[in-house]
Structure 1
């Protein structure tokens, strides 16, 4: 069984507090989480479950790993967690009343939260977050590299390559990944001017209410022209997004995605590794989230890759 949740935290009284939930039936204290629904990405599940259980609408930060344990009925359960900051206004505005699932919400300092947790796997997640806090990486922002969804066969398409449209499968992929990307609440969408890329971000545009910036700077065609090297422009755009601490989605093509990922690595003063290389090798409608520290100096805190759910 797959599930997802978040370590929701806030600044309060000069310190940090973590949100625990007391479950109605079990009367235990744990981090909020819930089961993955069909057709849902794990990030989307985490954001949805937090809102359903606590009333809080969150933006996911960097991932905190996963917990694996066996349920009383013998099934294995894997829960994926992210850190997520909320402000006092969001907490005050969040509607909550005890229900059949959650009896109470409790905000506690980190040390108290670890003592209150019923399960050691929740304590381990809080301890990972403590390490992030100590490193100055409690707050992050996302740079998201998205490969366009499945498009028409280029060998059968009669128009230009840039005019190729999404297939029915591609349109479905675009709808399915939009919720997962939106869970990280990016502020800006930048897309290649190829039709298939513009169509891929359309469901995301509707979810976020953010109009995309359409540009040839991250399209495939300029890179294929002899004597041109648009990598400097990509590096410049990414460096600006990192400098402004602006969560950004960039929708592009298979040959361009590695350049986007590399530009984020450079802007965050990180090292290129086998992991960053793998994170740039995306299939259609897959996206890699690079979490950059919003602290004084940018740093690559974590990265993760997701795609359209099957079925």
Structure 2
């Protein structure tokens, strides 16, 4: 994503939950502006947009959320004449998160209000918020509410073949690769991954090590995502994907450039999604980049809902 350096970047989310069988969304009443908006805030130095969205929701509303489907970006000019670009996601709010929220009205946010989508469309102060809410409403009309992500991650920068005398599977990450592996953790955490599955190659295991440490979970290591097994015709990618789709839990799969198109194709097959060029662009990842594939939690065979791709920051 190329950044216009004069622009102000921000991120937020349409937080939603089901109350008495009806989808309600969260609007915030801002104290100083006297307006009603979707919660959002500016990117802090060194932060990624997904990381900002989760942090800002927590700061403004007291709610801990994980990101769902991306809802696009709003672009508008602020008083200074600078352009502001705000990226939004949908974020399902659990009852536990509502109960755990310690929100109190403050100098920034006067009140939180849960309203129907219809009311939110009539009530939001800004056209750009209405557009984002419309995007969310369209997903609801299509029967998409709860989703879970399968994050397809290419391993970070590894030592070149020519500079390594050991086996290919034991090739380590370079110093840059090690910092990439650490730098993507806050972004990956924004989707709330619960499972990590890694190729058995050292360069993949080392890439997910910082994430595993942050989650306090062990990565499941398998030859089914390994390049060597794939080249020998022994990698059962379909089994790995089948298991992830059936579990319905947010997961990170770390593998190699040559396997990524196959992994994306198997996710498309498992979710009954028509193949298309979008799959090859989602598989065309630089080292430590990842594609977040959003799948319906209630009807996984209703196809891939959306795919977003993120680059490492180092």
Pick the TM interval, shorter chain.
over 0.9
Whether the aligned pair in 1 keeps the contact of 2:14 and 2:38 (CA below 8 Å) is yes
Deviation at 1:208, TM superposition (A): 2.0
Shift in CA distance, 30/162, structure 1 to aligned 2, threshold 3 Å: same
232, 256, 261: which is aligned to 1:253?
256
- Listed as ranges, the gaps of 5+ residues in structure 2 are 1-7
Tell me which moved more, 290-299 or 301-310. Answer: 290-299
Q: Choose which of 267, 274, 277 in structure 1 pairs with 2:277.
A: 274
Q: CA deviation at 1:237?
A: 1.6
Matched, 1:307 2:314: no
Stretches (4+) displaced over 4 A = none
In structure 2, the residue corresponding to 1:256 is in which secondary structure? helix
More relative contact order, 1 or 2 (CA 8 Å, 6+ apart)? 1
1:79-131, CA deviations, whole angstroms, 9 ceiling, x for partnerless residues?
11111111222112111122232222111111111222110111111111111
Aligned equivalents of 1:20, 1:27: Cα separation in 2: 13
1:290 corresponds to: 293
After TM superposition, the score normalised by the length of structure 1 is 0.95
CA RMSD of aligned residues (A): 1.3
What's 2:36 paired with?
29
The answer for the alignment partner of 1:13 in structure 2 is 20
Alignment of 1:149-188 (within 5 A): 149-188=156-195
Structure 1 unmatched ranges of 5 or more: none
Counterpart Cα distance in 2 of 1:154 and 1:220: 14
Match of 1:234? 237
Equivalent residue runs for 1:193-232 within 5 Å: 193-225=200-232, 228-230=233-235
Determine the C-alpha separation between the residues in 2 that align with 1:235 and 1:264.
8
> How far apart are the structure 1 equivalents of 2:107 and 2:231?
58
Deviation at 1:307, TM superposition (A): 1.4
Distance 2:145 2:311 in 1: 26
Aligned partner of residue 158 in structure 2, secondary structure: coil
Shift of 1:139: 0.9
